[in-house]
Amino acid sequence: MSIVQHRSLKSIIKGIWTHSLSILTMFTFPYQVTVACHRMRGVKIGKKSHVARGVILDDRNPELIEIGKGVAVTSGVMILCHQRDLKNYRPGMYAMHCPFKEGRVVIKDGAHIGIGAIIMPGVTIGEGAIIGAGSVVTHDIPPYCVAVGSPAKVIRSFANMEINSSTTK
């Protein structure tokens, strides 16, 4: 994860743009319009992916989010790409004195992110993985599994099952 010390004027203007579009995504429908707004904010979203209204996709670094094809991101999900770097945090400081560190979030094709899940910076969610409602994902999740809880843990895997080629992608 990279460390960020200062904000430039350009990044402040970009912030106003991404925050404004973010507010819009709370009210937009159908999902295609919501997806279009997030793409304009810089989020990479593949074909046939659904992003529900009210999903929060990092306001500071939306361009660090990569959502593959056929992904479902359901209501109330939050995807974060920044957090405070606590390396030099000491008594007598305010937490806000710590710089931000940033990490890319990648959600691979066909994954499903359950209602209200939180995806933390730097995480990759594997192809076809299912994240349970309300889970907090702090580590990478492998393909074709179910992961639940806080922190999210794999409770079931489909990875070794026979491939289903009858479903149209």
| The residue type at 56 | I
| CB contact at 8 A, 147 and 107 | no
- Tokens 């990478």 belong to which residue? 140
- Pick from 65, 130, 137, 145: which binds ligand COA (CB under 6 A)? 130
Active site residues: 82
End-to-end CA distance of the chain: 33
146 binds ligand COA (CB under 6 A): yes
Could you tell me what percentage of the chain is helix, strand and coil, using 3-state DSSP and rounding each to the nearest 5? 20, 25, 55
d(CA 58, CA 104): 11
Nearer to ligand COA, 114 or 121 (CB): 114
Considering only 3-11, 80-88, 92-100, 126-134, which stretch makes contact with ligand COA by CB under 6 A?
A: 126-134
49 binds ligand COA (CB under 6 A): no
149 binds ligand COA (CB under 6 A): yes
Considering only 22-30, 57-65, 91-99, 133-141, which stretch makes contact with ligand COA by CB under 6 A?
A: 133-141
Nearer to ligand COA, 103 or 116 (CB): 116
Minimum Å distance from CB 149 to ligand COA?
5
* Interface positions, 68-107, toward ligand COA (CB under 6 A): 74
d(CA 104, CA 120): 9
119 binds ligand COA (CB under 6 A): no
Nearer to ligand COA, 21 or 117 (CB): 117
Contacts of 167 (CB under 8 A, 6+ apart): none
DSSP alpha helices (H): ranges in the chain? 9-24, 31-41
Contacts with ligand COA, residue ranges (CB under 6 A): 74, 114-115, 130, 132-135, 146, 148-149, 155-156
